[in-house]
Chains A and B, each alone.
Chain A
Amino acid sequence: SQQGEEDPQALSIQEGENATMNCSYKTSINNLQWYRQNSGRGLVHLILIRSNEREKHSGRLRVTLDTSKKSSSLLITASRAADTASYFCATPHYGGSQGNLIFGKGTKLSVKP
């Protein structure tokens, strides 16, 4: 079963607007990762946040983590048409190795020029 669940399933915005995606998970984690996937191809790692961190920034990306609510959010600021992709959160399988990631169903982001 999938641990992470992203919300919303789809999001359509105009260029320049901000996009916020949320993720919920079920078990204890030591880190949470966000990945991007373009057109059903390979995934690209965006950002990782550890369980002892509450917020992390990378360029136009901002990730928050609330371990008490078992939730995370990804904010993309000043979106561009090139940000159009599916975004997934992923957490290591509880009790498993870091090579075993559990992904949510993803948020499909469409940024219109």
Chain B
Amino acid sequence: DAGVTQSPTHLIKTRGQQVTLRCSPISGHKSVSWYQQVLGQGPQFIFQYYEKEERGRGNFPDRFSARQFPNYSSELNVNALLLGDSALYLCASRLEGTGASYEQYFGPGTRLTVT
């Protein structure tokens, strides 16, 4: 079975531009979470979506938005890019529901560089 997939792998954008990152969860997983990992730091929670609804939001500005589609894939959008948005963006999926394990399954990430 395929794991969590993310696209693109790498991306270079200019300040002020907009970017869309994509994530496909493991088959059967309905929960998708997004994390930002700045170099040398641990991942920081951005959003969680479950059954196409936002379940949680981290301390990020409104320039960050996300959505989940009927097939449970997800997109993360970042508008008006700043140099500080340069980071590894990680997507994780999880099997929700009674008796489900707490662990999350991470994709390989998208490396975003803002110049």
**Which A residues have a C-beta under 8 Å from some C-beta of B?**
2, 4, 31, 33, 35, 40-45, 48, 88, 90, 92-93, 96-106
Contact = CB atoms under 8 A, between A and B. Distances in A.
Nearest to B90: A42
A45 B108 CA distance: 13
Contacts of B55: 97, 99-100
- Counting chain B residues whose Cβ lies within 8 A of the other chain, the interface size class is 20 to 34
A100 B42 contact: no
A60 to B, nearest CB: 19
A70 B44 CA distance: 20
Nearest to B105: A45
Given A41-B109, A42-B108, A48-B103, A100 B58 contact: yes
Nearest to B37: A40
A108 to B, nearest CB: 9
A4 B42 contact: yes
A106 to B, nearest CB: 5
B33 A44 contact: no
Interface in B78-115: 88, 90, 92, 94, 96, 101-109, 111
Contacts of B39: 40
B40 to A, nearest CB: 8
Given A40-B88, A41-B108, A42-B108, A31 B41 contact: no
A104 B4 CA distance: 23
B31 interface: yes
A96 to B, nearest CB: 5
28 contacts: A2-B41, A2-B44, A31-B102, A40-B39, A40-B88, A40-B109, A40-B111, A42-B106, A44-B106, A48-B102, A48-B103, A88-B43, A96-B56, A97-B50, A98-B96, A98-B102, A99-B48, A99-B104, A100-B33, A100-B48, A100-B56, A102-B45, A103-B35, A103-B42, A104-B42, A105-B40, A105-B41, A106-B41
